[in-house]
Amino acid sequence: MQKSYDYIIVGAGSSGSVIANRISADPKNEVLLLEAGRVDNHPYITIPKGISKLIKHPTYTWTFPIIQKRRPDLPSKEIWIRGKGLGGSSSINGMIYSRGHAQDYEEWNTLGGPGWGWEEMKRVYCEMEQHELGSNGHRGGHGPLSISSGKFRYPLAERMIKAGEEFGLEAKEDLNHPSLEGIGYYNHTIKNGRRMSAAKVFLHPVMNRPNLTVITGIHANKVVFKDRTAAGIECSKGEKEIVFTCKKEIILSAGALLSPKILQLSGIGPKELLDSLEIGIVQESPDVGKRMREHLGFSMPHKLKKTRGLNHRFRGLGLVRSLLQYYFSRKGPLATGPFEIGAFVRSMPGANRPDTQLYLGAFSYARSRSSDNFPVQLSHTDSAPGITIYGQLLNLTSEGEVRIQSKDPREAPAISPNWLKTAYDKEAMVEMVRTMRRFVKQEAISEYFGEELIPGDQCQTDSEILDAVLRLSTSGLHATGTCRMGRDPKSVVDNQLQVRGVRGLRVADCSIMPALISGNTNGPAMAVGWRASDLILKTA
């Protein structure tokens, strides 16, 4: 007979790892954490630049082909990825730690309900962070999560910051200042040259707690209900089906693509979808899987002039040198994320906060002009020196959808991003590309930027830029909103993260975010896990 647990958490990613840590701190709470992937013991996970070897590794990465065409005449080549294993996407991501703008959280508070405004979330971040710059009014210095900044510096990086100042941006020591706008070295979840994933920080130190059980290689299929109360989770491990029962709560932390899938398979979702698949309705919830919003990125690699840059450090003898430097000192180009320099700027006239995030690095990857829309092209750098400016539009208004395609839990959901469906999004993407082009013409760096390889100087008009964006842009891997928190009855969860219409079931991950974050979502996902833990423990 299976043991019954007080709490069952589905997904050991950025949110789930935090929740498992915090609610199992009370020895009276029997906690079960379920993860479909493996233990995160591959050395590529520890080495920051190991991301280039992980992003297409089937053991550690979920891949979701996007069937929806961006335009009728374009083939379906888009792929979204997510981390699979302890730590989830925090084990394979670019390690940028960005909290977004204070106004983002005020929107959460307005749309989602009280308890999610900036003052409350600032408290969460300060409790969570151990920033190397120390604590101040908006930054934490004594929490478990190590944050570093600017560990790999080189002359061209300093020139990029100078170019930002020429562009009208403030050079900031900490890019996570609440006002956000500015340029500087990115904050990273890296300590002493090693990736600090959510599993490394929150799970591994507590794995020996007798009241915490972690099972890997197990797939959660659906929630089992008894009298509209979540009573257990039906799972598959190989060919074996298992049901784990729960005495208090089940928390879905499977992410913005898989949490709505589990809800839909469990009978919680849009009536027309569940009826079409003959799934019994437990609770009609029309927005499960809907209202998805994402960041859209566009990369503009250039030839690099007057200096070698970093491409040679990732190839041949240069790579050997980088490996030896990392092995003996945990320093050098392998000890940091893909991009060191970041900027948050306003591209659209009248924007009330930054709407564009820039990433800059003295490298370029090998990519043909007809390449697929794979989101992280880091597997092969160019043989010739290169330099890249990559931009993400932060406040797209188009909304996508995640839908199950059958009753089979092994089948991937259908994902429809609905990119650039609004006039605003089209205009904003064009303005973002033009902003990137203006940036590289600043005096401090213009002499280093050679030929624009993508999309190329021949691409100038609005229609030509939009055509290039549709063909070559990539997902930011920051999907939100598919189980959105809200005050309205159509929202999936309330401000306590409890699923509407049933008992004993919460969702806590990026899917609950009612508005996009102005930046990367790994930090906010951990903050959601921290805040969810507060709410769970308060009602324990």
pLDDT at 134: 95
Domain chopping of the chain, boundaries: 1-120+197-294+401-418+480-540, 151-185+296-395+420-472
457 phi-psi bin (left φ>0, alpha ψ -120 to 50, beta other): alpha
Q: Please list, in sequence order, all residues whose beta carbon lies within 8 angstroms of the beta carbon of residue 442, skipping any fewer than 6 positions away.
A: 163, 164, 166, 167
Query: Quick one: fold of 151-185+296-395+420-472?
Result: Cholesterol Oxidase; domain 2 (3.30.410)
pLDDT at 371: 52
Which tokens go with 56?
């297409």
What are the average pLDDT values for consecutive 10-residue runs of the chain, which has 540 residues? 90 99 98 98 95 88 93 89 97 97 98 98 98 95 96 93 98 94 98 98 98 98 98 95 97 99 99 98 98 97 95 93 96 95 97 97 71 56 92 98 98 97 98 98 98 95 96 95 98 99 99 98 99 95
pLDDT at 365: 82
Query: Quick one: fold of 1-120+197-294+401-418+480-540?
Result: FAD/NAD(P)-binding domain (3.50.50)
d(C-alpha 7, C-alpha 101), whole Å:
33
pLDDT at 373: 58
Helix axes 462-472, 423-439, angle to 10 degrees: 90
Number of alpha helices (DSSP H) and beta strands (DSSP E) in the chain: 13, 25
Q: In 3D, which of 101, 79, 189 has the Cα closest to residue 144?
A: 189
Q: Dihedral sign, CA of 317, 320, 324, 330?
A: positive
Catalytic residue list: 478
Amino acid identity at 143: G
pLDDT at 366: 67
3-state secondary structure 60-115: CEEEEECCCCCCCCCCCCEEEEEECCCCHHHHCCCCECCCCCHHHHHHHHHHHCCC
pLDDT at 375: 52
pLDDT at 2: 73
Give 364's Cβ-side CA count (13 Å radius).
26
- pTM higher than 0.85: yes
Helix, strand, coil abundance in the chain, percent, nearest 5? 30, 25, 45
Asked if 511 contacts 259 with a C-beta cutoff of 8 angstroms, the reply is: yes
Q: Dihedral sign, CA of 421, 513, 76, 463?
A: positive
